[in-house]
Every structure is written in structure tokens, then in C-alpha cells.
């Protein structure tokens, strides 16, 4: 049996300092027992024996422990409970160094004195957090206090002290600090921590003139999962989303969940919009793959908004607000997209609001009409039917694409009325066509989710007298995103009426062959982008189209290839045995009276015509930009733009090989040289390719930093937003043009 020796009892003389005893007692009991005059030793009378017993009981309860060392820091006493906890026998502990038995943990390294140092100071210490040096799996923490004691010659004789277990408190504190840093659901950083991180990053980067990008990600249709599968399933889905994000981004500490289904990524020193666009695309792709949650399959999508500091804001508020605007635009652009912030976005949001207002009145004002695009038998070139495509002639803006106004109609709750009108109009006009030409009408997923759709279809057929088998409804994969029992019964109800069903835009969305097996489609429409890719070298799209055609054949479905523009695409599509073709290679959509005229003879055979091969997309436009030559900036009109070059108009007789820096605004400069010169127009080739801007447009990969502008003498605050380089500032030296401009040319 071990002899118990209490440190304060100094049993050699049978005296204990009342200060020691009361001090310990106060600490242990949590009460503040004032220390009496420590100079007067007391004899070991009955009441101090009583106190010792109490302390012994306390020690045995395991809630606190005592220790003492000699002048060299060697342990002279330790409560047995600690020896058990550290897993070393007391005999081995007594005589060993106190500083070696305990340690302070990593976090103390930066802001606490080391334990050996503290022990040499010979002054008291309180509540020093310590753990066993040989720390096992379960980390135990103690708050340790000590008082030096001195021998009669007033020489330092060692320490006496106590310890209490603070493991539980520390765990709670750690959890609390975790809560302040991490999102409890996904383990990603939380909004609070992310905003701190962004603030400190931007503050530091402003000084260091470094770039930093912010990506905001919002899940599409997440609400639907929550509503149909329940919140626990929604939570499980969010965890999977977080895992996928970590995988794509590669660094957990860059990603946060802001709350709900919104995530944010900070990318330090990244301003290359080519790289940012690629990353955004990879994120969207990864998050759009199907998920399995509690045995249910669900599909969501994601939209991404990107803003880059310093161009799009130098404070975290500005940067986040602009990333948010970009995100909103990405969602408005049809979801499943990314968008970079640009100064036009604010204007675009306003435009959209005005368009929505105008759309409310468009039907009543007869601004809406239907165009029809021939669907042609690929083998015979004979038109078998038409796709009805809605058109809007805006009184001020002219023709507005349905790709623009259908999403607005869907969001503004106007699609029901518009869709119903389109269905009635198309049936009515198709009933007047010769022969047995079919008409295909597009049905938005929102219309499809309306129980009244079968009634609306029946009414359109009844009032027009069109046989149901001549009406085809085109449905996109969007309807399967909300796959429920209702989807099935809607398919059944429509089939019962006798209309045909086509799966539109196959290859753009979630393209699961599973839909084809279960849903009663009569036709698959292979999307334009898919066919386009197929003619590119090394594309596997051709093989996939062949597989789709084989499957469609086996399931007794027709196939239509959409958007065929060139003869090489048509050849490929014929080779792959696609049964029908729709595209400019045969005809653009035409008005009903044109259609009637062409079909006068009863049928309409079209000879395909178009470019021999597909060429890289050139965007036609009419946009004012700057063209800088030497130190002069010309105002020119950009007529078309591709990733590799542009056609500009406005400067006259420029020799081939002349170098221009095109200024597209927003710090976007592209170095280019003239390869063709035709009077007032020049064809230019860029030194560096442009990149996709996420919105069907193009942008330069990098922008000239406002910091560089500032270095050239222009204070950042003075730079007008969106047009840093050609701003008319006092610092700009007057320059002389080397070439005459179109104005001079016309005058001459």
C-alpha cells in the first residue's frame, strides 16, 4: 500500500500553512476562501485534521488532485488518480520531472510560456491547461495551479498545487469554436468564417496588388427535393454536394456553405476567366450528376456567379454583391450555367423586368405569332411535318427569341396562357395544311405539371378538328426532374388522347436512357449541340448518336437531328441512320402563309443547301469598342467576333500586319494583327484566344488590372467602372491618329 503524503501537510513538522489549505479548499469547492496570514504556522489540531480528511475525500472522489515538487522540479507527491490516468505507477512517477509528465498542447505553443520556464519562475500560476505528455486517444485536460514554497532559509523548495479535470469544458469550447468556424451539416467553412477570410484576404491583397475571385453557387431545384423527399433527405443531399465540391475544387478550406443551398468558393490569385469558366463548368457538371438519397434517385443542377477582385470590386461587400448579380443572371439565363459579373448585368436585370411587363400585354396586342420549321425525311428530302415555334415581334425591339422570353414567361407565371394560345394556334393552322403533315408543339415542364394539360390539348384538337395522331408534343427532360406518380399519369392521359410525344433536346440535360425505356415517346430529338460536336475530330458524339438511333429503333421510335446547318453534318446524320432532320440546311422556320405556298402541290421536297463544313462560331454584332494603335485609340464598330479573331469597321486602309490592341471595356484588352484589310473593314487575328463568358458570348481570359492602370498614373478610385483603359483623363497625352477614320473617308 502506498503511503499517502499530502503536500501541504509537511508531515515532518506536523504543520500546514492555513493559506495552503484554505487556498486549495477554496479552489476545489469553487468558493473563494480567503487566505489567512500565511506567516503563522498552525499546529495540527482537530480542525485541520478535519480539513485534511475533507481534502482526502475530495481527492478520492477523483474530481481534483494534488501535486508537489522539490526545488529541482522533481515530483514529490501526486494523487493516485492521475497516475492511473496517465498509465504509469506512482513509484515510477515520484522523483521524475513534473515538466516531463505534463505538456501544454499545440495551441499553447504560440502564446504561452513553456512549462519548464514557468516552473523556474518560482511564482504562482493558476489554471494552466495541461495534459498528460504521453497522451492517448482520449485526451484529458487539467487546469493546474501551483504555489512556490520556500524553506526556512527562504530558499525556493519547490511547488505545491492542485489540478482539476477540464476535459468536458474544453470539448464544449472546441465545439463552440468549431460552430463559429464550420457549418455543422457539411463540415465546410460557415458564412461567418468565410466572410472573415474574404475580408482579410482582400485587405492584404489590396496592398500586395493580387487578384482574388469569388464564386457563388446555388443549387437548382433543391427546394423540390426538400418538398418531396423531406428535410432529412435534403440534408443528406447537401452533404453529398459538399463532398463533390471538395473533390472538384481540391481544397476544403476554400469552400463554405453560406446557408440553405448556397455555397461560396474563394480562389486566391486566380483571375484567368478561362480557368474560372472551366472550373465553374466542372462544378456544374459534377453537381448535376444524379444523386442517390435514401434509396431515391434525385437530380438537381447548379448555377454559378463569378466576380473577380480587383476588377469587380475591391471590398468583400462589392465583390459578393457582384458575384450575386452574376449568379442571378446565370439563373435567369436558364440555370445550369455560370456567369461572370459585368457592368451590364444591372442593366440586364432592369431590361428583363421591362420585358416581363411588355410580355403581359403581347398576346392581347397581337405581337405573338407562330412560325413553322420543316421536319424532313433524311432519306427522301420530303417534309413530313413542322415544328411550331413561337415568335414575338416587340414594337420597339423587333423580334425577340423564345429562348429569351419563354424563361421570363415561366418565371412570371405567363407560360400557361402563352402555351395554351400556341397549342390552339398551331392546331388551327395545321388543320389547314395539305396531306397528313404533322405539327409538333413545345410544352414547357410547367405546362406539363398542370393537371389541366390533357383537357387543354383535347380542346385544341376539338376546336381545330386536327386528328390527334398529327399532333406531337415536344417535352424536354426537365419534366423528369420532378418525376412523381403524376408524371406517369400525365403521360398516360396524353397517350390516351392519341397524340404523339417527342423527347426534345436530348443530349443537353440529364440524358438518361432510363426515360426512354419507361416513358411512351414516339420520337427522340437529338440536340443541335450534340450533332455539332459530332463533326469535330476525335468526338465520340457520333458513336453515341449511333447508339441512340439503335435504341430508338429497337423501341420503335423515330429520331430527329436538330439544328443541322452544314452539308457535312447532314452527311454524318444520314450515315448514322437518323430518320429525320430539322435545320437551316433545309429551311429556317417560316410563317404559315409561306408554308402554305410551298406546300401547294401537296408535298414539299427541299434540296439541302448550306456551307460545306461547319465553321467555328462567329458571333455577329454591332458594338462600339476601342482599337488602340501606337498611342492613339480609335472608336470602331465590332462586326463579328470568334475565339480567334474579329472583324472591325471604322478605320480606313490599314496595311496587313498592323497591330491593334482591341479594348472591349472592363479592362479586357486583346492584342491582334490585321490579316485582311478591305477599305473600312479589317479582319484581325488575336494573339491569345478568347474564352466562353458563360452566356453565349466571349471574353478575354485575363483583364488588365486597375492596379496596372494606377501604376501608370491613374488612381484606381478615378477609373470609371468598365472602361479603364480609354478613359479620357488628364493624364492621357493627346495623340495623333496614324490612319484616317470612316468619318474622314466619307467626307473625302
Q: Near ligand C2E by CB under 6 A, which window of 103-111, 215-223, 558-566, 667-675? A: 558-566
d(CA 740, CA 748): 10
Question: Per CB under 6 A, does 183 bind ligand C2E?
Answer: no
Strand pairing class (619-629; 590-591) = unpaired
Question: Per CB under 6 A, does 373 bind ligand C2E?
Answer: yes
Quick one: 79 or 442, whose CB is closer to ligand C2E?
442
The least CB distance from residue 460 to ligand C2E, in Å, is 12
192 binds, among Mg ion, ligand C2E, none (CB under 5 to 8 A by kind): none
The least CB distance from residue 656 to ligand C2E, in Å, is 32
Name the burial class of residue 689, with classes exposed (0-12), middle (13-18) and buried (19+) by CB atoms within 10 angstroms of its CB.
middle
Quick one: 220 or 312, whose CB is closer to ligand C2E?
220
d(CA 736, CA 319): 38
Question: Per CB under 6 A, does 169 bind ligand C2E?
Answer: no
C-alpha cell at 133: 505528455
373 binds, among ligand C2E, Mg ion, none (CB under 5 to 8 A by kind): ligand C2E
Q: Near ligand C2E by CB under 6 A, which window of 26-34, 397-405, 450-458, 535-543? A: 397-405
Q: Which residues contact 4 (CB under 8 A, 6 or more apart)?
A: 56
Task: Name 370's bridge partners.
Answer: 390
d(CA 583, CA 565): 6
707 binds, among ligand C2E, Mg ion, none (CB under 5 to 8 A by kind): none
The least CB distance from residue 441 to ligand C2E, in Å, is 6
401 binds, among Mg ion, ligand C2E, none (CB under 5 to 8 A by kind): ligand C2E
The least CB distance from residue 427 to ligand C2E, in Å, is 12
Contact 34, 22 (CB under 8 A): yes
The number of helix segments (H) and strand segments (E) in the chain equals: 25, 34
The least CB distance from residue 442 to Mg ion, in Å, is 5
Name the burial class of residue 480, with classes exposed (0-12), middle (13-18) and buried (19+) by CB atoms within 10 angstroms of its CB.
buried
d(CA 602, CA 198): 68
Question: Per CB under 6 A, does 333 bind ligand C2E?
Answer: no
d(CA 6, CA 348): 81
Q: Smallest Cα–Cα separation from 8: which of 60, 62, 49?
A: 49
Question: Per CB under 6 A, does 406 bind ligand C2E?
Answer: yes
**Residues at the site binding Mg ion, with contacts judged by CB under 5 A:** 442, 474, 504-505, 562
> Grid coordinates 469550447 are at which residue?
173
The least CB distance from residue 585 to Mg ion, in Å, is 16
C-alpha cell at 479: 419534366
Contact 579, 384 (CB under 8 A): no
Name the burial class of residue 477, with classes exposed (0-12), middle (13-18) and buried (19+) by CB atoms within 10 angstroms of its CB.
buried
Task: Name 255's bridge partners.
Answer: 265
Q: Near ligand C2E by CB under 6 A, which window of 306-314, 349-357, 512-520, 561-569? A: 561-569
The least CB distance from residue 694 to ligand C2E, in Å, is 19
Q: Near ligand C2E by CB under 6 A, which window of 194-202, 398-406, 429-437, 679-687? A: 398-406
422 binds, among ligand C2E, Mg ion, none (CB under 5 to 8 A by kind): ligand C2E
Name the burial class of residue 53, with classes exposed (0-12), middle (13-18) and buried (19+) by CB atoms within 10 angstroms of its CB.
exposed
User: Scanning residues 466 to 505, which ones bind ligand C2E (CB under 6 A)?
Assistant: 474, 504-505
- Contact pick of 62, 129, 402, 498 for ligand C2E (by CB under 6 A): 402
> Grid coordinates 501541504 are at which residue?
8
Question: Per CB under 6 A, does 374 bind ligand C2E?
Answer: no
Quick one: 389 or 471, whose CB is closer to ligand C2E?
389
Question: Per CB under 6 A, does 714 bind ligand C2E?
Answer: no
Quick one: 220 or 504, whose CB is closer to Mg ion?
504
User: Scanning residues 570 to 589, which ones bind ligand C2E (CB under 6 A)?
Assistant: 582-584, 589
Backbone angles phi, psi at 624, to 5 degrees: -80, 130
SS3 per residue for 633-690: EEEEEEEEECCCEEEEECECCCCCCCEEEEEEECCEEEEEEEEEEECCEEEEEECCCC
Alpha helices in 431-484 (DSSP H): 445-448, 453-464
576 binds, among Mg ion, ligand C2E, none (CB under 5 to 8 A by kind): none
Q: Footprint of ligand C2E on this chain (CB under 6 A)?
A: 373, 389-390, 401-403, 406, 419, 422, 442, 444, 474, 504-505, 562-565, 582-584, 589
Amino acid at each position: 500500500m502506498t503511503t499517502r503524503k499530502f503536500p501541504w501537510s509537511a508531515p515532518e513538522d506536523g504543520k500546514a500553512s492555513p493559506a495552503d489549505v484554505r487556498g486549495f479548499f477554496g479552489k476545489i469547492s469553487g468558493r473563494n476562501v480567503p487566505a489567512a496570514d500565511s506567516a503563522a504556522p498552525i499546529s495540527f489540531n482537530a480542525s485541520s485534521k478535519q480539513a485534511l480528511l475533507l481534502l482526502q475525500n475530495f481527492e478520492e472522489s477523483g474530481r481534483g488532485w494534488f501535486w508537489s515538487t522539490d526545488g529541482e522540479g522533481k515530483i514529490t507527491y501526486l494523487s493516485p488518480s492521475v497516475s492511473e490516468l496517465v498509465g504509469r505507477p506512482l513509484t515510477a512517477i515520484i522523483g521524475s520531472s513534473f515538466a516531463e509528465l505534463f505538456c501544454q498542447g499545440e495551441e499553447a505553443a504560440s502564446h504561452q510560456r513553456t512549462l519548464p520556464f514557468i516552473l523556474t519562475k518560482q511564482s504562482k500560476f493558476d489554471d494552466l491547461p495541461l495534459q498528460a505528455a504521453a497522451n492517448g486517444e482520449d485526451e484529458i485536460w487539467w487546469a493546474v495551479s501551483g504555489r512556490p514554497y520556500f524553506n526556512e532559509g527562504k530558499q525556493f523548495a519547490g511547488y505545491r498545487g492542485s489540478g482539476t479535470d477540464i476535459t468536458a469544458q474544453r470539448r464544449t469550447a472546441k465545439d463552440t469554436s468549431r460552430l463559429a468556424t464550420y457549418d455543422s451539416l457539411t463540415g465546410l467553412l460557415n458564412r461567418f468564417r468565410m466572410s472573415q477570410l474574404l475580408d482579410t484576404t482582400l485587405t492584404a491583397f489590396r496592398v500586395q496588388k493580387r487578384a482574388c475571385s469569388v464564386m457563388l453557387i446555388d443549387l437548382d431545384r433543391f427546394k423540390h427535393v426538400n418538398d418531396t423527399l423531406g428535410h432529412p433527405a435534403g440534408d443528406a443531399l447537401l452533404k453529398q454536394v459538399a463532398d463533390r465540391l471538395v473533390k472538384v475544387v481540391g481544397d476544403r478550406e476554400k469552400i463554405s456553405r453560406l446557408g440553405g443551398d448556397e455555397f461560396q468558393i474563394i480562389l486566391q490569385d486566380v483571375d484567368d476567366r478561362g480557368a474560372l469558366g472551366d472550373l465553374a463548368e466542372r462544378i456544374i457538371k459534377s453537381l448535376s450528376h444524379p444523386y442517390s438519397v435514401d434509396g431515391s434517385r434525385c437530380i438537381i443542377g447548379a448555377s454559378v456567379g463569378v466576380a473577380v477582385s480587383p476588377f469587380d470590386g475591391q471590398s468583400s461587400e462589392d465583390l459578393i454583391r457582384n458575384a450575386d448579380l452574376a449568379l442571378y443572371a446565370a439563373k435567369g439565363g436558364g440555370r445550369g450555367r455560370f456567369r461572370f459579373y459585368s457592368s451590364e448585368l444591372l442593366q440586364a436585370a432592369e431590361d428583363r423586368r421591362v420585358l416581363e411587363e411588355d410580355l403581359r400585354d403581347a398576346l392581347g396586342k397581337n405581337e405573338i405569332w407562330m412560325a413553322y420549321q420543316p421536319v424532313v425525311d433524311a432519306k427522301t428530302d420530303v417534309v413530313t411535318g413542322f415544328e411550331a415555334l413561337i415568335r414575338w415581334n416587340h414594337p420597339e425591339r423587333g423580334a425577340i427569341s423564345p429562348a429569351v422570353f419563354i424563361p421570363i414567361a415561366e418565371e412570371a407565371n405567363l407560360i400557361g396562357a402563352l402555351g395554351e394560345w400556341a397549342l390552339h394556334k398551331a392546331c388551327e393552322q395545321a388543320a389547314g395544311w395539305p396531306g397528313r403533315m404533322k405539327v409538333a408543339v413545345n410544352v414547357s415542364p410547367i405546362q406539363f405539371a398542370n393537371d389541366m394539360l390533357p383537357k387543354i390539348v383535347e380542346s385544341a384538337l376539338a376546336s381545330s378538328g386536327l386528328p390527334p395522331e398529327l399532333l406531337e408534343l415536344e417535352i424536354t427532360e426537365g419534366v423528369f426532374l420532378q418525376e412523381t406518380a403524376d408524371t406517369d399519369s400525365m403521360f398516360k392521359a396524353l397517350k390516351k388522347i392519341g397524340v404523339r410525344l417527342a423527347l426534345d433536346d436530348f443530349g443537353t440535360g440529364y440524358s438518361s436512357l432510363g426515360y426512354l425505356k419507361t416513358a411512351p415517346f414516339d420520337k427522340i430529338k437529338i440536340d443541335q449541340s450534340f450533332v455539332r460536336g459530332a463533326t469535330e475530330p476525335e468526338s465520340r458524339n457520333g458513336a453515341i448518336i449511333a447508339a441512340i438511333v439503335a435504341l430508338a429503333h429497337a423501341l420503335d421510335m423515330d429520331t430527329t437531328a436538330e439544328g443541322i446547318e452544314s452539308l457535312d453534318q447532314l452527311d454524318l446524320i444520314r450515315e448514322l441512320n437518323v430518320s429525320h432532320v430539322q435545320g437551316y440546311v433545309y429551311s429556317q422556320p417560316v410563317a404559315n402563309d409561306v408554308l402554305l405556298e410551298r406546300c401547294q402541290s401537296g408535298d414539299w421536297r427541299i434540296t439541302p443547301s448550306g456551307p460545306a463544313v461547319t465553321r467555328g462560331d462567329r458571333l455577329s454584332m454591332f458594338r462600339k469598342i476601342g482599337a488602340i494603335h501606337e498611342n492613339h485609340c480609335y472608336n470602331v464598330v465590332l462586326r463579328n467576333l470568334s475565339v480567334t479573331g474579329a472583324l472591325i469597321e471604322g478605320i480606313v486602309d490599314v496595311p496587313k500586319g498592323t497591330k491593334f490592341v482591341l479594348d472591349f471595356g472592363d479592362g479586357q484588352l486583346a492584342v491582334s494583327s490585321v490579316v485582311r484589310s478591305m477599305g473600312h473593314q479589317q479582319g484581325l487575328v488575336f494573339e491569345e484566344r478568347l474564352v466562353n463568358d458563360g452566356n453565349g458570348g466571349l471574353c478575354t481570359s485575363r483583364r488588365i488590372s486597375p492596379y496596372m492602370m494606377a501604376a501608370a498614373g491613374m488612381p484606381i478610385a478615378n477609373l470609371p467602372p468598365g472602361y479603364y483603359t480609354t478613359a479620357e483623363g488628364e493624364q492621357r497625352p493627346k495623340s495623333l491618329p496614324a490612319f484616317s477614320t470612316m468619318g474622314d473617308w466619307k467626307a473625302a
